[in-house]
Amino acid sequence: MTFKIALNFEDGVTRFIDCNASETVADAAYRQGVNVPIDCRDGACGACKCKAESGQYELGFYIDDAMSEEEAGLGYVLTCQMHPRSDCVVNVPVSSDVCKIRQATLSASVDEVRQLSPSTISLVLQGPGIDKLAFLPGQYANLEVPGTTRTRAYSFSSMPAEGKVAFLIRNVPDGLMSGYLTERARPGDTIRLAGPIGSFYLRDVARPVLMLAGGTGLAPFLAMLDKLVAQGGSAHPVHLIYGVNTDADVVALDRLDAFKAALPNFSYEVCVVADDSAWPKKGYVTAHIEPAHLNGGEVDIYLCGPPPMVEAVAHDLRERQIEPKSFHYEKFAASV
């Protein structure tokens, strides 16, 4: 039996490896050209200590000097001893270049570019490599702007299916990628993509989840919800608050409604900042976070949007004196 192991490096790069049930994660990594930190290979030195974010595994043999019982209880593993029993996500506490990994790159072609509203564009890429593109839902890739050597970061807004993957992109006035997508993009154009990257991804749903999306910050949540549907749902409530500036920015409601139909524990609401909005809920997402959504802190919060939104939500949680079980965020910062 073979399992997929996602190795997340400190610099945000993720590399997926296959690991047989009978081999250790370190052996599998080396077999596939990923030189994870290692020394004794005997469970004696601790050089290969990593943190397992999720998955079932056997710790194997090790001595207390290499890893304490407390560390094992916290999810630490020694990759030279670890045998997976399911797909796993493992955080490797070094940068990917230390492990001699080159970021995976792929040439894809434009399948469709659709303006969903004046402010928002849907881009679908296709190609033979897309279905094999392994990423954790919520991660992003760097897309090269055709005709230039510049790249822009975009979160996957779907999981790969039938050789295609989608992105949800804000139309930034005078923006390089925005200009390409609105003026020149044609089906068949080649776009180079490097990734997956990022530590913003959906962990095991072990308690209620609150998702907070600002504008096209909705993108990674669409991929996460795709994944939840593929997994057969969630045992805990998942609530999304989707905030935008104006009514014209509200997009992808068809997908959100389809998720609502497919996931009995999923609910969502939309709020719009503009006073003249036709939507009943006005203002920023922070105005619509109810105590029930925070579940007294027993909640995993995922937040994606422009940098000021991330600061505003962090400030709001401090004001409410809520310390969520976990708080993951992605800032859609402008490229420099």
Ligand X SMILES: Cc1cc2nc3c(=O)[nH]c(=O)nc-3n(C[C@H](O)[C@H](O)[C@H](O)COP(=O)(O)OP(=O)(O)OC[C@H]3O[C@@H](n4cnc5c(N)ncnc54)[C@H](O)[C@@H]3O)c2cc1C
Stretch that binds ligand X, among 46-54, 172-180, 265-273, 293-301 (CB under 6 A): 172-180
Q: Are 168 and 231 in contact (CB under 8 A)?
A: no
- Which of 2, 35, 148, 335 lies at the binding interface for ligand X (CB under 6 A)? 335
| Residue 98 beta carbon to ligand FES: minimum distance, rounded to whole angstroms | 15
Q: Are 194 and 167 in contact (CB under 8 A)?
A: no
Q: By CB under 6 A, tell whether 78 contacts ligand FES.
A: yes
**What track of x and - describes contact with ligand X for positions 105 through 144 (by CB under 6 A)?**
-----------------------------------x----
| Residue 185 beta carbon to ligand X: minimum distance, rounded to whole angstroms | 12
* Residue 168's binding partner out of ligand FES, ligand X, none, with CB under 5 to 8 Å set by partner kind: ligand X
Q: By CB under 6 A, tell whether 250 contacts ligand X.
A: no
- Which of 176, 194, 314, 322 lies at the binding interface for ligand X (CB under 6 A)? 176
**Residue where the block lists tokens 């989707």:** 242
- Main-chain phi, psi angles of 292, to 5 degrees: -60, -35
What 3-state DSSP class applies to 1?
coil
- Main-chain phi, psi angles of 304, to 5 degrees: -145, 130
Which CB, 83 or 255, lies closer to ligand FES?
83
> Which residues have CB under 8 Å from 199's CB, separation 6+?
8, 12, 328
- Which of 66, 77, 159, 177 lies at the binding interface for ligand FES (CB under 6 A)? 66
Report d(CA 171, CA 117) in Å as an integer. 9
Q: By CB under 6 A, tell whether 292 contacts ligand X.
A: no
Stretch that binds ligand FES, among 38-46, 113-121, 251-259, 318-326 (CB under 6 A): 38-46
Task: Answer whether the bond into residue 324 is a cis peptide, omega within 30°.
Answer: no
- For 164-209, what is the HEC assignment? EEEEEEECCCCCHHHHHHHHHCCCCCEEEEEEEECCCCCCCCCCCE
Query: Residue number with the shortest CB distance to ligand FES?
Result: 80
Structure tokens, 30:
């080396």
Please name every residue paired with 57 in a beta bridge, in sequence order, or none if there are none: 84
Positive or negative CA dihedral for 111, 332, 276, 119? Answer: negative
Q: Are 44 and 67 in contact (CB under 8 A)?
A: no
* Residue 154's binding partner out of ligand FES, ligand X, none, with CB under 5 to 8 Å set by partner kind: ligand X
Which CB, 51 or 192, lies closer to ligand FES?
51
Q: By CB under 6 A, tell whether 57 contacts ligand FES.
A: no
| Residue 48 beta carbon to ligand FES: minimum distance, rounded to whole angstroms | 3
Measure CA 38 to chain center. 28
Which CB, 37 or 146, lies closer to ligand FES?
37
Chain positions contacting ligand X, by CB under 6 A: 140, 152-155, 167-170, 172, 174-178, 198, 216, 219, 306, 330, 332-335
Chain positions contacting ligand FES, by CB under 6 A: 38-41, 43-48, 66, 78, 80
